[in-house]
Amino acid sequence: MALLDGKIGIVFGVANKRSIAWAIAQAWHEAGAALAFTYQGERLRENVEELASTFGADTLILPCDVSRDEEIERVFAAAGQRFGKLHLLLHSVAFAPREALEGQFVNTSREAFRMAHDISAYSLVALSRHAAPLMTEGGSIVAMSYYGAEKVVPHYNVMGVAKAALEASTRYLAYDLGPQKIRVNCISAGPMNTLAARGISGFGEMLKHYEEHAPLKRNVLPAELGATGTFLASDGAAAITGQVLYVDCGYQIMGM
Ligand code: NAD
Ligand code: 0WE
């Protein structure tokens, strides 16, 4: 019997094969879960259809811009109709306007701050609220975070503040949904070479810095995020909720 046999999940945040969401979805699938997928917009539809259909031609795949309430409602109505229940939800979504990740944090515009928090943090609250009524047998909600939530990482700027809001939201959601046996946790991943990291100036040096300074002297592999995602989704993590788990080769423990 595989770890997630009989579990039904929904995955937000696949853009392409390098997406962290895809690494965790593959691990959930290999552990026996049945999965539905959402994509941000028409631009990403083909990518996600091509990847997700490897899990079966009848895989549920729906558009969902998480900044639009009506799209969120449509997704959970469709998932309810198809499955009648839900056990797992992966939130692997973040966005801040590019200019906010370039200059100084002090120059963050009201609109960039609003967008970053809406898409990267509030969306977890909205998705959890819609998922909870379907999680009638309990559930596990997993969101992706980054170290810039707790310490200053130059240029991460408003995304760091939004990740702090995401992590705090994880704790308040864990408190609210705990009585329904719904657990809510974050995985704080070390830097990964994904679409969201591409074009961030100095990202190559950041990977090298982690390799030199993390206790394990290397960077994280996608399959390792998959394995942690599977653990958090499984009954092995039945007493873990509201936590931020660092999957970063130990980087976060260092003081110098
Ligand atoms: P990615 O670009 O593959 O994934 C980001 C996803 O966010 C994309 O699928 C994109 O479509 C989605 N998205 C953005 N705006 C959206 C919106 N309005 N509605 C719906 N979806 C939207 O990059 P990734 O690195 O896999 O990022 C996934 C998560 O992992 C993010 O939360 C990111 O902050 C986090 N993370 C990334 C790293 C890293 O170094 N790459 C490290 C730690 C945490
Ligand atoms: O969470 C992230 C990145 C998320 C992200 C990426 C982009 C690039 C394209 C959010 N919004 C946008 N907007 C865009 O227009 N990471 C953890 C990866 C990351 O991004 C950084 C990092 C790290 C690490 C930006 C600056 C410094 C470090």
**What pLDDT, in 10s, does the model give residues 53-88?**
999 999 999 999 999 999 999 999 999 999 999 999
Q: Ligand 1: distance of its center to the CA of 145 in Å?
A: 10
The full set of domains in the chain, from first to last, is: 8-245 (3.40.50.720)
Closest CA to 87 of 30, 176, 4: 4
**What pLDDT, in 10s, does the model give residues 106-132?**
999 999 999 999 999 999 999 999 999
pLDDT for the residue numbered 199? 83
What whole-number distance in Å separates Cα of residue 199 and Cα of residue 78? Answer: 36
Task: Kindly list the distances between the CA atom of residue 110 and the CA atoms of 100, 106, 158, 182, in Å, as whole numbers in the listed order.
Answer: 11, 11, 11, 34
Q: How far is CA 95 from the centre of its chain?
A: 12
Task: Kindly list the distances between the CA atom of residue 204 and the CA atoms of 96, 114, 162, 200, 211, in Å, as whole numbers in the listed order.
Answer: 20, 29, 23, 9, 11
pLDDT for the residue numbered 234? 98
Whether residue 72 contacts residue 66, with contact meaning beta carbons closer than 8 Å, is answered with yes
Closest CA to 144 of 248, 29, 26, 32: 248
Q: Is the pLDDT of residue 198 over 90?
A: no
Q: Is the pLDDT of residue 1 over 90?
A: no
What whole-number distance in Å separates Cα of residue 188 and Cα of residue 225? Answer: 9
Strand partners, 12: 38, 91
Whether residue 147 contacts residue 251, with contact meaning beta carbons closer than 8 Å, is answered with yes
Q: 88 φ, ψ to 5°?
A: -130, 140
> Candidates 194, 208, 248, 249: which one to mutate for ligand 1, based on the most atoms within 8 Å of Cβ?
194
Whether residue 165 contacts residue 173, with contact meaning beta carbons closer than 8 Å, is answered with no
Q: Is the pLDDT of residue 228 over 90?
A: yes
pTM over 0.85: yes
Please give the number of the atom of ligand 2 that sits closest to the Cα of 98. Answer: 15
Q: Whose CA is nearest to atom 24 of ligand 2?
A: 191
**What pLDDT, in 10s, does the model give residues 150-180?**
999 999 999 999 999 999 999 999 999 999 9
Residues with CB under 6 A from ligand 1: 13-15, 19-21, 40, 44, 64-67, 92-95, 119, 144-146, 189, 191-192, 194-197
Closest CA to 60 of 45, 43, 73, 78: 78
Q: Which two tokens stand for residue 23?
A: 């690494």
In the DSSP assignment, the letter for residue 191 is: P
Considering the chain, what is the average pLDDT of its residues? 97
What whole-number distance in Å separates Cα of residue 91 and Cα of residue 119? Answer: 11
What whole-number distance in Å separates Cα of residue 128 and Cα of residue 177? Answer: 9
pLDDT for the residue numbered 183? 99
Residues carrying an active site annotation = 146, 156
